[in-house]
Amino acid sequence: MWLFEMDYSLFKTKRNVCLSFLIILSVCSQLLISCTPSKKYMIQSQKKLIHDHQKVRVLIIKTRDNLRISADTKIRILDIKTGKAIYSGKSRTLIFSVEKVRKPIQIESWKIPIYVNKIPYRGSMEIHNILGSLHVINVLSLDEYLYGVVPSEMSYSWNSEALKAQAIAARTYALYHIMQSKKGIYDLDATTKSQVYKGINIENKKTSDAINETSGEILSYNYKPIITYFHSTCGGKTCDDKYVWTNNDLPYLGQVKCPYCRNSPKYSWIEKLSLYQLKMMLRKEYKGVGKIKSISLKKKEGRVTLVIIQHSNGIIRIPGNRFRLLMGAERIKSLYFIAQKTQNGLLLKGHGWGHGVGMCQWGAKGMADSGKSYEKILRYYYKGVKLTNIQRKIANRDKDSFDKE
């Protein structure tokens, strides 16, 4: 589709033809240049996105049961769409049911915390009725959110450099998802679907100090926050993300040899799986599963990528990570395993705990205990990334490099 119309009367002479040609060429060049985002434009866009996303929205409860919400001070309820106050008064326990919540509401308190079913949280709350289910969303600042994440994901007793690495990984992970979820009612889940978040009860001074001391620091690649996957124990080497999630192939999430996690209690594991257990678990997702005849494993980098099961009624092909989750992540702790046939089933011998992609948390502990800084830990597990402080970059408008260290 043309952006402008041309007057052909300009082309009556050769001189006009040449002149017009040069004008058109100049205009087209400018259009092409304007269509290609410059580094400065990308940086400014990232700054604006980050500045606009100072709050994080965390889904903490999804239920059809009644909710009890209270505060220690004055409480106010607002209609989210209109901004009008529905209730404002002294602190008391408010009960919300599916029948009562017919439109999205926001609940604020003059001082923290707000209690949801007696559990204290920072920030404010939103309640949405989605198809007869109450979705409770905690809205708070990014670092306030991290106060409840880092000690949920890593022991507060660990070396402070490991805790700082975890804080930056968790902050970057959150920011990545905040910038992705433009239309949804929440950005992150409070469970292992995103990052584990337990509110004020789990907060600890040592982890809070690690968060405060690294406030604003994130990892970026090509001027954007990266998706900082992390897991408990890699078992000796991490895994390229494309072998766990087939639609992923990120350059900073390649395999890394890790000799630092040997002290993890889940460095190696053994699990027995009977053919009957396997059949019953498969039937939860696949119909008509008959007697198991054979099982074969396809691997990449030592990790299972595909499980092929032949049974009396057919063949099932299951991606490795899907098989692990179907059997139970507590049972099959990682995809880094070998399988041996037994009389009644399989004997699995494996290494590590988790998907194996990104930062190995026990490896981060081992590196920190050996004197490595959090910067070195993060660059070891996430290749080719930049460590930058977004707060400093936003505050200092003269700096035009979002990725500059």
pLDDT in tens, 263-280: 999 999 999 999 999 999
Q: Residue 114 is which amino acid?
A: I
**Separation of alpha carbons 20 and 275, rounded Å:** 78
CB 176 within 8 A of CB 228: yes
Residue 269: burial class (beta carbons within 10 Å; 0-12, 13-18, 19+): buried
Instruction: Look at residue 96 in the predicted model and tell me its pLDDT.
Output: 94
pLDDT of residue 245: 83
What does the block give as tokens for 145? 């959110």
Angle between helices 160-180 and 361-369 in degrees, nearest 10: 140
- Output the pLDDT for position 45: 47
The predicted pLDDT at position 33 comes to: 41
* pLDDT computed for residue 9 by the predictor: 37
Residue with tokens 């139970």: 328
Report the pLDDT value the prediction gives residue 248, as an integer from 0 to 100: 72
- The CA distance from 339 to 361, in Å, is 26
Give the per-residue pLDDT at 63.
95
pLDDT of residue 269: 97
> 122-165: per-residue pLDDT in tens?
999 999 999 999 999 999 999 999 999 999 999 999 999 999 99
What is the rounded distance in angstroms from the CA atom of residue 236 to the CA atom of residue 267? 8
**Integer CA distances (angstroms), 226 to 3, 256, 339, 384, in order:** 37, 17, 34, 11
State which residues of the chain have pLDDT below 70: 1-53, 246, 392-405
Q: How high is the pLDDT of residue 362?
A: 98
